[in-house]
Amino acid sequence: MIGTLLNIATVLLGGSLGLFLGGRLPERLKGTLTAGMGLFTAAIGVQMFLKTQNPLIVLGSLILGALLGEWWKIEDGLGNLGTILERRFLRGEGKGSSRFVRGFLTASLLFCVGPMTILGSIQDGLTGDYSTLAIKSVLDGFTALAFASTLGVGVLFSAVVILVYQGGIGLLAAQLNQIVSPAMMNEMTAAGGVMLLGLAISSMLEIKQIRVGNFLPALAFAPLIVWILNSLK
């Protein structure tokens, strides 16, 4: 839960600064900071990948994960979820719905719908490694700063959703700790590292658009492949 609590703290801090500063931060500074975090995220992704003991397992899990993710259209589903919720709760905007609601909903969706949330929460719950959530926390802090400067105090209350959703994933993952071996965790971490690298390239550095969400099933395939290989031995 340390990663989730850190995430909540940065959102509250960033949101509070956003309320205080308003729109005074230049876009050029925000872009440079985001690029720096993108480079750092890419480096962490490479470091995580180097934990693999068999790169072919990582490759296999990514291929199987991509096939299943594209079939299920996970990336599209995550995007559609945000659209559906926004239409559901903001359909009356302009006719009395508050800026508070818009800020709360927009921030909650952005902070909780994405591969880094799921990957980081699983890592935190299984091993206590909150490095991925730490990266996410910094990014969310700057995002909360920018959003709160325009959408108001509702952004800060998205911390409640982070606690319930992200913390819930971490607690569920912790229950699997007894059946996930170190070898399984290493390969799952390596697969997650490749996904972090993809996030950096796609969302932060904006080099090439990658549907990273469709690789999420690889987090389940990696330990499964390890278990199958060990059973065959």
pLDDT tens string 163-202? 988 988 888 888 877 787 889 888 988 998 898 888 888 8
Q: Kindly report the number of other CB atoms within 10 A of residue 191's CB atom.
A: 30
Unique residue bearing structure tokens 């509250």: 12
In a domain, 182, yes or no: yes
Averaged pLDDT of the chain: 83
Distance between CA atoms of 27 and 33, rounded to whole angstroms? 10
**Using one digit for the tens of pLDDT, what is the confidence trace for 74-106?**
878 766 765 665 566 555 554 434 667 667 766
Domain that holds residue 98: 2-21+29-228
Q: Kindly report the number of other CB atoms within 10 A of residue 36's CB atom.
A: 12
**Using one digit for the tens of pLDDT, what is the confidence trace for 112-159?**
766 788 888 988 888 888 888 998 998 899 888 877 877 778 788 888
In a domain, 108, yes or no: yes
In a domain, 94, yes or no: yes
Q: How far is CA 173 from CA 122, 178, 231, in A?
A: 5, 10, 23
In a domain, 233, yes or no: no
In a domain, 156, yes or no: yes
For the chain, what is the domain count?
1
Q: Which two tokens stand for residue 25?
A: 């931060």
In a domain, 113, yes or no: yes
Q: Has this prediction a pTM greater than 0.85? A: no
In a domain, 85, yes or no: yes
In a domain, 110, yes or no: yes
